Amino acid sequence: MLEECGLEYRTVPVDINRGDQFAPGFLAISPNNRMPAIVDHDCEDGPVSVFESGAILIHLAMRTGRFMPTGQQGFKETLEWLFWQTGNLGPMAGQHSHFRNYAPAGDHYGRVRYAMEYGRCIGVLDRRLEGREFILGEYSIVDMACFPWILIAPGMDQPLDEFPNVARWRHLIKERPAVRAGVDLGKEFKSSKPATDEEKKVLFAQSAQLVREQIRLHECEERSHVKGS
């Protein structure tokens, strides 16, 4: 969305393997200790932080007046399909990726369950795209929200042969210069090394108690840094 609108921005990397998402500074703008999150410094009342991808997209669309229908029906459909992505396509694809890449080999149920749900969601999207170039007719924040989860389909053992509308839509969006720039963003921060057991604990064993411990640890580290300086 930032690239599509031509907005100036600065990327701030967060090392989730190391637990940077629990640092007080990041939690102040993303209380769910997840990415993405932004701070918009160009608002009338001063800097505004926004977390959750759907909320970020709506915020930027309303601020710029772009990529979101303004009529009542169009706005209604924007909310429907954006909430569908945040409640269905994204979570099901994420769970499928987790069980495919990280779960023990014997966890057959989880692998099958979320692979099927991911495929079901792609089927829903394929039906929606029948006779439409984009999800809402014209390119919008809904396409931006859904695209990353379809881009990775071939790498998650989900061919798109039986979903011709989705395959066409995927190719169309992938060729947009702003999308290509977004896909390439942050490549220099990515590591090809597999996560260690300690990193997996930080990533996947986030009970309420462990999150509190991580937050306290980062608070202590920051206080020690301040005293040391």
**229 has pLDDT over 70:** no
Residue 211 within a domain: yes
What is the average pLDDT across 217-223?
Answer: 81
φ, ψ of residue 38 in degrees (nearest 5) = -135, 160
What pLDDT, in 10s, does the model give residues 102-119?
A: 888 778 999 999 999 999
Domain limits for position 131: 72-184
User: Which residue shows structure tokens 């399909």?
Assistant: 81
Give the CATH number for residue 29.
3.40.30.10
Give the CATH number for residue 162.
1.20.1050.10
pTM, full prediction: 0.89
Mark whether 35 and 119 lie in a shared domain: no
Mark whether 157 and 100 lie in a shared domain: yes
Mark whether 125 and 153 lie in a shared domain: yes
Mark whether 125 and 165 lie in a shared domain: yes
pLDDT at 35: 92
* Domains of the chain: total: 2
| Angle made by CA atoms 147, 148, 152, in degrees to the nearest 5 | 115
Residue 144 has what DSSP assignment? H
Find out whether 18 and 202 touch, Cβ atoms under 8 Å: yes
Residue 202 within a domain: no
User: Which residue shows structure tokens 């009529």?
Assistant: 71
Residue 19 within a domain: yes
The rounded mean pLDDT for the chain is: 92
Q: Which of the four pLDDT bands, split at 50, 70 and 90, describes residue 123?
A: very high
Mark whether 105 and 177 lie in a shared domain: yes
User: Which residue shows structure tokens 């695209």?
Assistant: 147
What pLDDT, in 10s, does the model give residues 155-167?
A: 999 999 999 999 9
Mark whether 15 and 60 lie in a shared domain: yes
Residue 200 within a domain: no
Q: Residue-wise over 55-88: b if at least 16 C-beta within 10 A, else e? A: ebbbbbbeeeeebbbeeeeeeebbeebbebbbeb
d(CA 190, CA 136) in angstroms, rounded, equals 33
pLDDT at 193: 75
Mark whether 104 and 139 lie in a shared domain: yes
Is the model more confident about 84 or about 217? 84
